[in-house]
Amino acid sequence: MGMGTDTLVRAAEGVDEGVDESVVDEGVAAAEAVRRRLAGLDWEALSAALDRDGYAVTPVPLVGEATAAEMRAGFDDDRLYRSTVHMARLRYGDGVYRYFRAPLPPVVAALREAAYPPLAIVANRWAVRLRSRDRYPDRLSELARRCRAVGQTEPTPLVLRYGPGGWNALHQDLYGEIAFPLQLAIPLSQAGRDYDGGENLLVEQRPRAQSRGTAITVPLGHGLVFPTRHRPVPGARGDQRVTVRHGVSTVRSGERYTLGIIFHDARP
């Protein structure tokens, strides 16, 4: 059974006078289910896919149908979000995206916190291969502390909505000096049922070569892990630093919602 549109807000606020504790419990239970799903993934296989293909799709959904429906229903609830961007006004594409305010809803916080440690292992391995001095801490709380130290204090998880004709220009999600090298996108709508078109796009620019593009369709609730900015690719003289940008192809019909999990915070 769905939790209702208010659950994300009320669970994020926590138990307080006048707040139904059963609502909070539902949000916490959904968050624990997310943590269990992430803990049960074969992270070695996902890491191998990231190395080989430049992206990885989780074999099981991280978010269930009920939670996805709740997030779609809550898109217009201003209590959940700190900022709204109308993409066409800024020539970013055609659609709307909204950044969650703090405290994050429990499911969103759980996705961010539980996915971070195994991805930090990949990020540090990539840093070595790219001959970078950057190293990433084991826990998200320490990354958040580093972000605060350089003025990056705003949460970056967001929900994106595209209608017919909607699309997202190729870009990188960089919000300040610190940028974690991997991020996660989770469809909240089902391709072929709720919308057509709207593939995830990844475009790599390899040194002294033409750009290479990949279109990916991800089932509802599954996670797509992909690079934020660069990834290492083996070359004739060792690993090459490949620049990666991501976007969304044109939605031909229907409505497409996506939850984006970015691990570094943003400058106000």
Overall size of the chain counted in residues? 268
- pLDDT score for 19: 47
**216 pLDDT above the threshold of 70:** yes
* H/E run at residue 26: helix 21-39
- pLDDT score for 207: 86
- pLDDT score for 26: 80
C-alpha closest to that of 50 among 119, 143, 139, 131: 119
C-alpha closest to that of 54 among 267, 254, 245: 245
**Average pLDDT of every residue of the chain:** 94
Lowest-confidence pick of 160-169, 219-228, 231-240: 231-240
- pLDDT score for 208: 84
Phi, psi of 187 (to 5 degrees): -65, 135
